[in-house]
Amino acid sequence: MKIATHIKGKRYDTARALAEEMKAEALTEDEITLAEIDIAICDMMTAGDGKGTNDYMDRLSELLIGKYDKGNGSVPGSVTEILPSENKLYQNYPNPFNPVTQIKFDLAKTADVKLSIYNIAGQKVIELANGVINAGKHSVEFDGSKFNSGVYFYTLETDGSTIAKKMVLTK
């Protein structure tokens, strides 16, 4: 999110430095690819003074083809095709859990998001996310070590809609 803010503010050198740092610290291939895409965008914007050039567009296309071509020649026409088409909240994993679980969700567009955990009585016990989150796939870790065993509900609130799921903490 910091990189996008710097790109929008036309601070391409700062954004590129952050992307290089993100790439160096990446733990997965997806993280490396995303960092390389950010670097290509920064280079493209810098070289074309915000207009872009064919060389950098070709480089960006190569990164996308390398990542998303499954051998059948079908590659998304744009980055927006890679994004989820709808907001979705997934079942936590593992479930039941002790004491840590992953909660994954997709956002079709950048939105103001609240991800909260409630006990069986409907009382909010913790808020895991509250603020604007970029479109894409996201994962949040919930550590239930300070909570009692039992059934909990987690909700994802975005754009006036709420999605809820149930999870079980066992100790």
Please say if the pLDDT value at position 162 is more than 50: yes
Q: What is the pLDDT of residue 114?
A: 96
Q: What is the pLDDT of residue 30?
A: 76
Q: Tell me, what amino acid is at 71?
A: G
Looking at 36, 60, 81, the residue that finishes a domain is 81
Domain that includes residue 165, residue range:
88-169
**pTM to 2 decimal places:** 0.56
Are both 45 and 71 inside the same structural domain? yes
Q: What is the pLDDT of residue 76?
A: 46
Mean pLDDT of 137-159: 94
Query: How many domains are contained in the chain?
Result: 2
Which of 17-31, 54-68, 155-169 is least confident?
54-68
Percentage of the residues of the chain whose pLDDT score is greater than 90 = 42
Are both 16 and 70 inside the same structural domain? yes
Are both 68 and 94 inside the same structural domain? no
Question: Which residue, 104, 106, 96, 105, is CA-closest to 144?
Answer: 96
Which comes out higher in pLDDT, residue 111 or 83?
111
